[in-house]
Amino acid sequence: MTWSRDALAGKIPVTLVTGFLGSGKTTLISKLLLHPDMRRVAVVINEMGEIGIDHDLVTVSSENITLLANGCICCSVRTDLQETLRDLFAQRRVGEVFDFDRVIVETTGLADPAPLVQTLASDTLLAAHYRLDGLITLVDGLHGEGQIDQQTEAVKQIAIADKILVTKTDLTSADHLETLCERIRQLNSQSPIEFIQQGEVDPKRLIDLGLSSSRASLKTLQFLGEALTVDAVSADVTGSGRYLGQRSATHNSAVKTLSLRFTEPFEWLSFSSALELLTTLRGPDLLRLKGIINVDGDPVVIQGVQHIIDTPVKMDRWPSEDKDSRLVFIVRNMELDVIRNLFQAVGAIKSASTSTT
Amino acid sequence: MLNAPQSASRADQTLSLNMKLLAHHELAGFGGLGEGMGMQLTSDGRRILWLAHESAPKNFSGVDVTDPQNPKLIVQTELPHMKLRSNSLDVVGNIMVVAYQTTTVGIKPAGIDIFDVSQPETPRLLSHFDCSGPYSRGVHAVWFVDGRYVHMSSGASDFQPRNPLDDQFYRIIDIIDPEKPVEVGRWWYPGTREGDEAPPPPRLPAQFDMGFRTHNTNVFPEQPNRAFIGYIDGGAVVLDISDMKNIKVVSQWNHSPPFNGFTHTVLPLFDRGLWIVSDECVQDNGADWPKLVWVVDSRNEANPVPIGTFPAPPYDAFAKRGGRFGAHNLHENLPGPTSFRSDTIIVGSFFNAGVRVYDTSNPYQVQEIAYFVPGAPKLSPAGAIQLNDVYVDDRRIVYTVDRFTGGLYILEMNI
Q: Does B180 lie at the interface with A, CB-CB under 8 angstroms? A: no
Q: Which of A2, A60, A94, A130 to mutate to test the interface with B (most CBs of B within 10 A)?
A: A94
Note whether B10 contacts A3, CB cutoff 8 Å.
Answer: no
- The stretches of chain A forming alpha helices (DSSP H) are 25-33, 48-51, 81-94, 114-122, 124-129, 144-150, 152-159, 174-187, 218-223, 230-233, 268-282, 336-348
Nearest by CB to B6, which of A9, A10, A62? A62
Task: List chain B residues with CB under 8 Å of A97.
Answer: 6
Q: Give the model's confidence band at A242: pLDDT under 50 very low, under 70 low, under 90 confident, else very high.
A: very low
Residue B57, preceding peptide bond in cis (omega within 30° of 0): yes
ipTM: 0.88
Find out whether A163 and A208 touch, Cβ atoms under 8 Å. Answer: no
Q: Does B238 lie at the interface with A, CB-CB under 8 angstroms? A: no
DSSP code for B183: E
Q: What is the spatial distance between Cα A303 and Cα A223, in angstroms, rounded to a whole number? A: 10
Note whether B5 contacts A6, CB cutoff 8 Å.
Answer: no
Q: Does A2 lie at the interface with B, CB-CB under 8 angstroms? A: no
CA distance A10 to chain B (A): 5
- Please tell me the predicted confidence (pLDDT) of residue A353: 59
Pairing of strands B367-373, B15-17: antiparallel
- The tally of CA atoms less than 13 A away on the side-chain side of residue B110 is 26
Note whether B15 contacts A99, CB cutoff 8 Å.
Answer: yes
Q: Give the tens place of pLDDT for each residue, B77-116.
A: 999 999 999 999 999 999 999 999 999 999 999 999 999 9
Q: How many CB atoms lie within 10 A of CB B111?
A: 26
3-state secondary structure of A213: coil
Note whether A61 contacts B1, CB cutoff 8 Å.
Answer: no
CA distance B25 to chain A (A): 23
Task: List chain B residues with CB under 8 Å of A10.
Answer: 17-18, 369-370, 414-415
- Please tell me the predicted confidence (pLDDT) of residue A338: 87
Q: What's the burial of A345, exposed, middle or buried (CB within 10 Å: 0-12/13-18/19+)?
A: exposed
Q: Which of A6, A60, A93 to mutate to test the interface with B (most CBs of B within 10 A)?
A: A93
> A-B interface: how many C-beta pairs under 8 angstroms?
53
Q: What is the spatial distance between Cα A199 and Cα B118, in angstroms, rounded to a whole number? A: 63
Note whether A62 contacts B317, CB cutoff 8 Å.
Answer: no
- Please tell me the predicted confidence (pLDDT) of residue A233: 35
Find out whether A326 and A224 touch, Cβ atoms under 8 Å. Answer: yes
Find out whether B383 and B3 touch, Cβ atoms under 8 Å. Answer: no
Q: Nearest chain A residue to B372 by CA: give it.
A: A93
Q: Does A99 lie at the interface with B, CB-CB under 8 angstroms? A: yes
Task: List chain B residues with CB under 8 Å of A3.
Answer: 396
Task: List chain A residues with CB under 8 Å of B411.
Answer: none
More confident position, A332 or B382: B382
Q: Which of B369, B371, B413 to mutate to test the interface with A (most CBs of A within 10 A)?
A: B369
Note whether B317 contacts A93, CB cutoff 8 Å.
Answer: yes
- Please tell me the predicted confidence (pLDDT) of residue B156: 98
Note whether B369 contacts A61, CB cutoff 8 Å.
Answer: no
Mean pLDDT of all residues belonging to chain A: 84
Mean per-residue pLDDT for A267-283?
A: 90
Q: What is the spatial distance between Cα A290 and Cα A158, in angstroms, rounded to a whole number? A: 16
pLDDT above 90: residue A108: no
Residue A102 backbone phi and psi in degrees, to 5: -155, 160
CA distance B415 to chain A (A): 5
State how far the alpha carbon of A277 is from the alpha carbons of A246, A294, A302, A340, A346, in Å.
21, 19, 16, 13, 10
Q: Give the model's confidence band at A226: pLDDT under 50 very low, under 70 low, under 90 confident, else very high.
A: confident
- Residue B272 identity: R
Note whether A5 contacts B359, CB cutoff 8 Å.
Answer: yes
* A152-159 vs A174-187: helix crossing angle, rounded to 10: 80
Q: Does A96 lie at the interface with B, CB-CB under 8 angstroms? A: yes
Q: Nearest chain B residue to A213 by CA: give it.
A: B415
Task: List chain A residues with CB under 8 Å of B18.
Answer: 9-10
- Residue B333 identity: N
- Please tell me the predicted confidence (pLDDT) of residue A234: 36
Note whether A9 contacts B415, CB cutoff 8 Å.
Answer: yes
Nearest by CB to B415, which of A6, A92, A128? A6
Q: What's the burial of B203, exposed, middle or buried (CB within 10 Å: 0-12/13-18/19+)?
A: middle
CA distance B317 to chain A (A): 5
Of A247-261, A294-308, B145-159, B306-320, the one with minimum mean pLDDT is A247-261
Note whether B415 contacts A60, CB cutoff 8 Å.
Answer: no
Q: What is the spatial distance between Cα A84 and Cα A47, in angstroms, rounded to a whole number? A: 13
- The stretches of A189-267 forming alpha helices (DSSP H) are 218-223, 230-233
Mean per-residue pLDDT for A122-128?
A: 90
Note whether B16 contacts A99, CB cutoff 8 Å.
Answer: yes
Q: Nearest chain A residue to B394 by CA: give it.
A: A3
Q: What is the spatial distance between Cα B217 and Cα B268, in angstroms, rounded to a whole number? A: 12
Pairing of strands B169-174, B182-187: antiparallel
Q: What is the spatial distance between Cα B329 and Cα A217, in angstroms, rounded to a whole number? A: 36
Note whether B396 contacts A9, CB cutoff 8 Å.
Answer: no
- The tally of CA atoms less than 13 A away on the side-chain side of residue A104 is 26
- Please tell me the predicted confidence (pLDDT) of residue A238: 33
Note whether B367 contacts A128, CB cutoff 8 Å.
Answer: yes
- Please tell me the predicted confidence (pLDDT) of residue A236: 34
Q: Give the tens place of pLDDT for each residue, A71-99.
A: 899 998 878 889 999 999 999 999 888 89
Q: Per-10-residue mean pLDDT for chain B, 415 residues long?
A: 47 94 98 98 97 97 98 98 97 98 97 98 98 98 98 98 98 98 98 98 97 98 98 98 98 98 98 98 97 98 97 94 97 97 98 98 96 97 98 98 98 96
This prediction has a pTM of: 0.92
Interface of A with B in 318-347 (CB under 8 A): none
Q: Give the model's confidence band at A240: pLDDT under 50 very low, under 70 low, under 90 confident, else very high.
A: very low
Q: Does A10 lie at the interface with B, CB-CB under 8 angstroms? A: yes
Mean per-residue pLDDT for A25-34?
A: 90
Task: List chain A residues with CB under 8 Å of B13.
Answer: 95
Note whether B6 contacts A60, CB cutoff 8 Å.
Answer: yes
Residues 6+ apart with CB under 8 A from A49: none
